[in-house]
Structure 1
Amino acid sequence: DNIRKDLPAEIESPIMSKISPNDLPIISISATSNLPATEFYQKMKDEYLPQIQQIKGVAEITLLGGEEREIQVKVNQNKLKLYKISLSQVVESINRSGIDLPAGKAQTDKENNSVRLIGKFATIDDIMNVQIAMQAPGMPVYVKDVASVIDGVKEINSVSRYNGVNGIGLMLKKQGDANAVEVSKLVHAKLKQIESVNSKYDVKFIIADDSTDMTIAAVNSVVDDLILAVILVSLVMFLFLRSYRNSLIVLIAIPTSLISAFSVMWLMGFTLNLMTLLAMSLIIGILVDDAIVILENIQRHLDMGKDKASAALEGRMEIGFSAISITLVDVVVFLPILFLQVFVADMLKQFSIVVITSTLTSLLVGFTLVPWLASRIGKKEDLQPTNFINRFLLWFEEQLTTFINWYGHQLEWVLRHKLIFTGIVLLLLIITVGIMKQGIIGKEMMSTGDQGKFRLNLEYDKTTTVQENNIRTQKVENFILQQPEVASLFSNIAGPSSGIGSLGVGSPNISEFTIQLKPEKERNIKTEAFMKSLREELKKEFPSVNFSMAVLGLLPKQAPIKITLSGSNLNLVMKTGNELKAIIEQIPGADNVQLSVEEGSPEYKVIPDKDKMQRLGLTTAYVGLNLRTAFTGNDDATLTENGTEFPVRIWLDDFDRKNYEDVQRLS
């Protein structure tokens, strides 16, 4: 609003949208039924959609495709000229006739009754019999004299299919603070309930894409790793400490430290998500550091013959400073993450807080719980080869001693050849820096992994209509579905994009596919390799279409490199941009190079002759209103049937709004 006064008058108000992963749809659904298309759409809009929108955490649902019932008044321009009637007269007559109007009250000293004029259209005949004008006494002109009124379908502005089957698409977004997994569970349950209640209509909801599937799979994988980590740590502790008792003490120390992490997560409103669980997996090894160091020293004092209490106290006191140093080193490594201001700062902060709190708690556990348990169940260990486990532990100790001796010899060599070893370290450092500088190791925020899912966008010429887009896209769709690696394909023709930064408005010349490949075990090709080969095949088969692809993972991906050109001369900037685009396209590895500014769609401009308009008594507003009504239509009126209102659209007949000549002929 502050810069609005500095912009040209014809510029529309800018549309601003916050770019956030929360703005992306979490679920894409395809709905089908054996009901007539218009009836199914109305049920979806009036019955099913409100039930889903009432679910806690659901923010917005976008409908794709479907056929919405609409009463269309198609005016014949030649008949308007014959009866000397304007299009605005037809619109005004219909809009003024089809209204309900409260007229007031009729009341006496004892009774009070409301008076209402009932004039809403109930049938098509009501619209057809609306009087427009009276050219002469006894010669009225009705709507049916200048127009045809049909019970039709609203102009289709998007189409949705799942695996080639037409349906109504739903793209569901969650609220910013809602848990995506919980929302997904509630939505799945509600869809099953609607299906069972409407089984006679064979209503089916197919989940075409659910982003929480990847989240759940990732979380489950991390939980499995967490359990495995605890088990492996226990086994390693048993091998090195050679004591069931000591291994048990370490095993108790791990969950005790983790419980504190859960408490902090609850206080700060965190959830068990990928980052917090990943932090817990990482710190399993860190949590036992303090416990192992302290416990090993306590065991040393026990082996010296001291009583349990003295061994626990003296063993802890001897290395208290070392344990604090170990813990603080881990803390200061993760502490700076709290002050990051990057795109995923909130997720990384959760990771950092869980690591820091758990690590500090492990120090507390190491100073309190571990010595106390050692003072109660600790025991001097004197292993004898009396059973298989003891013999194995003694054998392992021998192998460990052999390794330590070998390491000692290597360390002696290093200490005798300090200059040579220093040179080796410096050489490795130089090689590491060189690898980083040369870009041999790539950089990215987070690897998407091979989820077997990607998005394919199709862009046609800007003059392409939705109908033509649908026909051409269906051919591409059928070609892709024939690929043996493809499991499912969700089509969004001319509807709003599901990508990050979408403003919720579709384009007639753009389509979007969400493609899910078969599980990795059932295909012999990686997702990105399949995408590249598919693009080459599509370019050969459909050369007039512009294809762009993006892998779908846990985090949305945008163009990794963006270059901004600015200047006062727009033509020069555009020329330079096209030249730069051509150069970048020749660089190996560059893919889908695009300009953010494109040429506008072709249009017919109607420039009024102010002098002639003044002589004819016309205004720009009147002419503009007639133009809009002729080519877009006026849908202020409604037809009410069984309590449901259907829009009535008034515009020119199809053959009067096709081309340039029709614009010129408008009167």
Structure 2
Amino acid sequence: AVRHVVVGTSGGAPVFLRDVARVQDEGAEPASYVMSHRRGGRSSPAVTLAVAKRKGTNAATLAHQIEDTVDAIRAAVLPADVAVDITRNYGETATEKSNELLFHMLLAVLSVSALIWLVLGRREAAVVLIAIPVTLALTIFVFSLYGYTLNRITLFALIFSIGILVDDAIVVVENVVRHTRLRASDSRGLAALTIRAVDEVGNPTILATLAVVAAILPMAFVGGLMGPYMRPIPIGASAAMLFSLLVAFIVTPWAAVRLLSHALGHEHQGEDRLTGLYRRAMRPLISHPLARAGFLAGVALLLLVALALVPLALVTVKMLPFDNKSEFQVVIDMPEGTPLEQTARVAAALAEEALTDPDVTSVQSYTGTASPYNFNGLVRHYFLRQAPHMADLQVNLRPKSD
């Protein structure tokens, strides 16, 4: 069809492309190479198919469905000499990380409860333990109103909040226990003592909670690429703090009246060993000016040392945290003007060298074109790497469980 294209006229007659040029259907000069490398120097051309999920879709479920579909068409549709390999399965990665975060969330809840049990008592720990699921349930409800799913970011926000949201309940429970021990023979009953104990610590608790919210919530207004990525953390943590305040003033007193009734009527108990140790440590700091000045100087010195860690490069400052995945990417930048074939040879040599490591299962090389990018590639604009002197290696490792 191209040979019959009219390119002009001569003497009133059309001039076709075949009249002035030779038209042949041949292969064009390659602009990129995508190769799959195996051990033993085996390399073959490859086509990478990247699948992106829609917003709100479960990545783990979608990954299983894609695997089932590939298995179904492998024998019926694909030729026998075409191999299909899954080089990245972020659905499996998401499942592993979600399960790990859920485990750490359970561990955090049990650790907080065990600490309160050790310091205040078994029933007091139960009162605080009631506040945790109530607050988390209300926070998850806020996530649903904002359209957030339970993913690694929102789960991290919940874990981050657990250590803070129990503070209000602990303050209320501790003061209730203190009043019951000081007024063991009070005839007004536990309910009246609980109301008085909550009223006594109400204003400081509100102020402390709002101070934490004021420190966390501004992160929700961060713009740019990181804004939507990090926004669930300040929103979730702020909502958890506000709900924990309500729970501490409503649910915790209710639970304390029902679970701490055994404490009323007991004689006043002396201070425990931990309280006595704290009193002995604080007495000189309060009564001696020189000790107070030395303590404040020590705190100021530690603050300066902490601030100096960043400019001294003793602490690594990164935009994104380190991620322990069973893969990594090698970015190759040859001198500008390097032919595509030479860049491809360098990429192949590096791939063969990587395959000498027994932990490496396969390597894919992308020369002159960008490899399918993840969030890290999106931040670093790796999708713009489409020059002949540029190449990427996708190195796949054995699973961490092996």
5+ residue gaps, structure 2: 7-17
Distance 2:185 2:83 in 1: 75
Q: 1:516 aligns with which of 384, 396, 401?
A: 396
Q: Give the match for residue 297 of structure 1.
A: 175
1:238 paired residue among 106, 112, 117: 117
Q: What SS does structure 1 have at the residue aligned with 2:320?
A: coil
- Change beyond 3 A, Cα 1:310–1:196: farther
3-state secondary structure, aligned to 2:194: helix
**Counterpart pick for 1:255 among 133, 149, 158:** 133
Query: How far did residue 415 of structure 1 move?
Result: 4.4
Partner Cα distance (2:383, 2:78) in 1: 36
Structure 2 counterpart of 1:160, from 29, 35, 50: 35
Counterpart residue type for residue 261 of structure 1: T
Counting strand residues as a fraction of each chain, which structure ranks higher? 1
Distance in 2, matches of 1:275 and 1:213, equals 16
In structure 2, do the counterparts of structure 1 residues 285 and 460 end up closer, same or farther at CA, with 3 Å as the change threshold? closer
| Kept after mapping to 2: 8 A contact 1:497/1:504 | no
Q: CA deviation at 1:236?
A: 1.1
Q: TM-score w.r.t. structure 1 length?
A: 0.49
Greater helix proportion: 2
Q: CA RMSD in A?
A: 3.7
Q: 3-state DSSP class of the match of 1:92? A: helix
User: Do the aligned partners of residues 419 and 159 (structure 1) sit closer, same or farther apart at CA in structure 2, a change above 3 Å counting?
Assistant: closer
Q: Structure 1, residues 51-103: CA drift from partner, whole Å, max 9, x if none?
A: xxxxxxxxxxxxxxxxxxxxxxxxxxxxxxxxxxxxxxx9534x69xxxxxxx
1:509-547 CA distances to partner (integer Å, 9 max, x unpaired)? Answer: 43321113456798xxxxxxxxxxxxxxxxxxxxxxxxx
Task: State the TM-score, normalized to the length of structure 2.
Answer: 0.78
**Structure-1 separation of matches of 2:298 and 2:338:** 66
What is the alpha-carbon distance in structure 1 between the residues aligned to residue 80 and residue 198 of structure 2?
A: 73
Residues 276 and 350 in structure 1, CA contact (< 8 A), matched pair in contact too:
yes
Question: Corresponding residue for 2:88?
Answer: 209
Hey, what's the Cα distance between the residues in 2 that align with 1:148 and 1:330? 73
Structure 1 contact 195–203 (Cα < 8 Å) conserved: no
The corresponding residue for 1:284 is: 162
Tell me how far 1:382 sits from its aligned partner. Answer: 8.8
Q: Does 1:446 align with 2:320?
A: yes
Verify the 8 A CA contact 1:258 1:358 in the aligned structure 2.
yes
Q: Does 1:187 find its partner at 2:66?
A: yes
Query: 1:390-433 deviations in whole A, cap 9, x for unaligned?
Result: xxxx9xx8542453244235535754533433443444444444
Deviation at 1:195, TM superposition (A): 2.3
Does 2:223 correspond to 1:341?
Answer: yes
Give how far 1:167 is off: 4.7
C-alpha distance 370-492 of structure 1, shift in aligned 2 (>3 A): same
Q: Residue 311 in 1 paired to residue 205 in 2?
A: no
Aligned mates of 1:429, 1:402 — CA distance in 2: 29
Asked if the contact 2:36/2:362 (under 8 Å) is kept, the reply is no
Correspondence 1:616-627 to 2 at 5 A: none
Which amino acid is the alignment partner of residue 122 of structure 2?
A: S
The equivalent residue for 2:13 is: none
8 Å contact kept, 2:135–2:247: yes
Partners of 2:85 and 2:131 lie apart in 1 by: 47
Which one has the largest radius of gyration? 1
Deviation at 1:376, TM superposition (A): 2.7
Return the letter of the residue paired with 2:175.
N
Q: Find 2:294's aligned residue among 405, 409, 420.
A: 420
Q: CA deviation at 1:372?
A: 1.6
Q: Distance in 1 between matches of 2:56 and 2:257?
A: 48
Of residues 352, 357, 360, the one that matches 1:486 is 360
Once the two structures are TM-superposed, the CA of residue 358 in structure 1 deviates from its matched residue by: 1.0
The CA distance in 1 between the partners of 2:307 and 2:29, in whole Å, is: 61
Tell me the secondary structure at the aligned position of residue 101 of structure 2.
Answer: helix
Q: Is the 8 A contact 1:195 1:202 kept in 2?
A: no
Change (3 A) 1:266 1:414: farther
Matches within 5 A, 1:43-442: 91-93=2-4, 156-157=30-31, 158-163=33-38, 164-172=42-50, 174=52, 177=55, 179=57, 181=59, 183-195=62-74, 197-198=76-77, 201=80, 204-244=83-123, 246-303=124-181, 304-306=184-186, 307-381=189-263, 399-409=273-283, 411-412=285-286, 415-442=289-316
- Aligned residue pairs: how many? 371
The code of the aligned residue for 2:34 comes to V
What is the one-letter code of the residue matched to 1:361?
A: F
Distance in structure 2 (CA, Å) of the matches to 1:361 and 1:252: 13
Distance apart, 1:181 and its partner CA: 2.0
